[in-house]
Structure formats: structure tokens, C-alpha cells
């Protein structure tokens, strides 16, 4: 009976739950979720940080930013990502804001500083840019990498 | 009744409300020129092949798929940008020439050029003496 009732109401229930989700988002209820770091809305770029056995990887979501417009500096366990994005241009072509209906995309200069775990090798860094995502890999120092200890049977 | 509504909400990608709830909403800029309307959306992590644009009646749907990281052993220190697909829908009226929409994808930015249909373009009226 109850399942049937829910089934019939499902489309409406969806609308309610979506509305509630939207309200939660506005008041940031339920954030931060476990490993999701809460940042103010509009923070640019958004950054993900993962740690593997061999290296730490950082993803910066910088769509529409040419790689030469981004500066990545790693010093004293902090990673600085700065640059600029001008949304009045795309592909070198000027967009005439003669009649602007929506302007939601970030425009201007940005700078983000992220502190990284200890024991990283500043000599072994790599950065790749693809589809608007900047992927930075910083290797761990040899002595900080986890070592497997083999157990000998006596 | 409910089944009908549900059927209307179903697309080839699944239930629309389901998609809308589990997706990221890409920020967009929309500019209007005399000849066309330009829509620019940020879809970082979405390549040309991961993007689906669909026009259904007067609804323009943008669905961008992002790649999921494959390594389960990674410790995620923080995730400001959740690995979710992008979805956003726009209503476009008769003012847009739906057959001649041009889309380009560059560095995670989608640019859509929506030409205005002939009937709403400003026309110059010649004055005869």
C-alpha cells in the first residue's frame, strides 16, 4: 500500500526532494560531506587533492584558461596556482557584450594556495593540461614511500 | 497518469529528474548579438567525445560526462569538485534556427552559436521617395 502510494507520488516527491536539496545547498546544510571540502560558491578554480602511494596529485579545474596563463609554484609544501581568465574572449575572438543575458562564469585573476602533505620531492613534479583540467603530480621522496616488509618464515 | 508523466520524463540517459539531481550545473554566459545568440558553458574534464547536445522540441540539453578516477587506493584529501556529470537544459523558442546551431569545444569550454531565425532578425525597411 505504502509503496504504491509512493510510486504514484514519485514525480511530485522528486520535485519536493529537489527543492529541499536546493535549499540545503543555499544554507550549506550537510556540507562538508566527509572528504568534500566546502568552499564558498564561486571559488575558482576548484581543486581536488589525492594522495597515492608514490605521489600526490592535484587537479585544478581551470576551463578556458590557456596553459601559458597559469603559474604553478611548489615551495615549502605549499602549491600555488595562479593565473587569469578573461571571459570576454574565446579563441582570441572578442565577444561583444552588447546584450548579455547571463554572466555566471568567472572572469579575472585567480590565486589559490594549497598546503600539501610532508615528504614531497620538489624535483619530481609534472603538470598536464587537458580539457580544462590541470593535473599536477608531485612524487614523494624515496624514503617517504611505503615499503613492504617481507616476512620470513623461520 | 503518473506513468504517463514518468514516460515523458524518461530520456535515453534515464530519468530526467534523476539526472538533474545527480549532476553538476555548469555556469554559462549568454550573449545576444544581432545575428545570433552565443552560449558559453564551463565543462572542465569533458572532452569533445564526452559531450552530448540534444534538441528536443524547444529544449536544448547539454550533458557532459566526466571521467572517473580509476585508482581506488587514492586517499582523497579533499574534493571540491565532485566527479559528477554535467547537465543543464535551456528552453529555446522559435527565435532560434534550430537546424544551424554550431558547437565548438575547446579546453573544457563549450561554445554554442545559436543563429536567430529569419523572421525575428531586424529588417531594414527601405524608404522610397
Q: Give pLDDT tens digits for B70-111.
A: 677 788 887 888 888 899 999 988 888 888 899 999 888 999
Q: Between β-strands B85-91 and B23-24, what pairing exists: parallel, antiparallel or unpaired?
A: parallel
Which CATH number is correct for A40-92+106-144, 3.10.20.740, 3.30.365.10, 3.40.50.1970, 2.60.40.790? Answer: 2.60.40.790
Residue A15 burial (CB count, 10 A):
11
Q: Smallest Cα–Cα separation from B116: which of B37, B25, B18?
A: B37
The pLDDT, as a whole number, for residue B80 is 84
The pLDDT, as a whole number, for residue A28 is 57
Place A118 in a pLDDT band, splitting at 50, 70 and 90: confident
Q: Which three cell numbers stand for residue B39?
A: 552560449
pLDDT for A2-38, tens place per residue? 444 444 555 556 677 777 777 766 665 544 444 555 6
Interface with chain A: mutation pick from B40, B90, B106, highest number of A CBs within 10 Å: B40
Domains and CATH numbers, chain B: 14-116 (2.60.40.790)
From-to residues of CATH 2.60.40.790 in chain A: 40-92+106-144
Measured distance CA(B39)–CA(B114) in Å, rounded: 8
The pLDDT, as a whole number, for residue B24 is 85
The chain-wide mean pLDDT, for chain B, equals 81
Q: Which three cell numbers stand for residue A39?
A: 568552499
Measured distance CA(A112)–CA(A105) in Å, rounded: 17
Contacts of A39 in chain B (CB under 8 A): 80
Our CA angle for A97, B81, B68, nearest 5°, is 115
Of residues A92 and A64, more confidence is placed in A64
Amino acid at each position: 500500500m505504502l509503496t504504491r502510494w509512493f510510486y504514484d507520488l514519485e514525480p511530485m516527491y522528486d520535485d519536493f526532494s529537489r527543492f529541499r536539496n536546493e535549499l540545503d545547498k543555499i544554507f550549506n546544510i550537510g556540507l562538508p560531506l566527509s572528504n568534500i571540502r566546502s568552499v564558498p560558491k564561486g571559488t575558482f578554480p576548484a581543486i581536488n587533492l589525492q594522495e597515492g602511494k608514490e605521489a600526490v596529485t592535484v587537479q585544478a579545474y581551470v576551463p578556458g584558461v590557456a596553459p601559458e596563463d597559469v603559474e604553478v609554484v611548489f615551495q615549502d609544501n605549499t602549491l600555488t596556482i595562479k593565473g587569469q581568465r578573461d571571459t570576454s574572449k574565446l579563441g582570441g575572438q572578442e565577444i561583444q557584450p552588447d546584450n548579455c543575458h547571463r554572466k555566471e562564469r568567472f572572469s579575472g585573476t585567480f590565486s589559490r594556495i594549497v598546503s600539501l602533505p610532508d615528504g614531497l620531492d620538489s624535483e619530481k613534479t609534472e603538470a598536464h593540461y587537458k580539457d580544462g583540467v590541470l593535473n599536477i603530480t608531485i612524487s614523494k621522496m624515496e624514503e617517504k614511500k611505503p615499503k613492504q616488509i617481507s616476512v620470513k618464515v623461520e | 497518469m503518473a506513468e504517463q508523466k514518468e514516460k515523458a520524463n524518461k530520456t535515453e540517459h534515464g530519468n530526467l529528474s534523476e539526472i538533474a539531481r545527480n549532476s553538476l550545473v555548469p555556469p554559462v554566459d549568454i550573449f545576444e548579438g544581432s545575428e545570433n545568440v552565443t552560449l558559453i558553458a564551463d565543462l572542465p574534464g569533458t572532452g569533445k567525445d564526452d559531450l552530448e547536445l540534444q534538441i528536443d522540441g524547444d529544449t536544448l540539453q547539454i550533458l557532459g560526462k566526466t571521467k572517473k578516477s580509476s585508482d581506488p587506493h587514492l586517499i582523497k584529501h579533499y574534493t571540491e569538485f565532485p566527479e559528477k556529470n554535467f547537465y543543464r537544459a535551456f528552453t529555446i523558442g522559435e527565435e532560434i534556427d534550430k537546424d544551424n546551431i554550431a558547437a565548438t569545444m575547446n579546453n573544457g569550454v563549450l561554445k554554442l552559436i545559436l543563429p536567430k531565425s529569419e523572421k525575428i532578425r531586424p529588417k531594414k525597411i527601405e524608404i522610397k521617395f
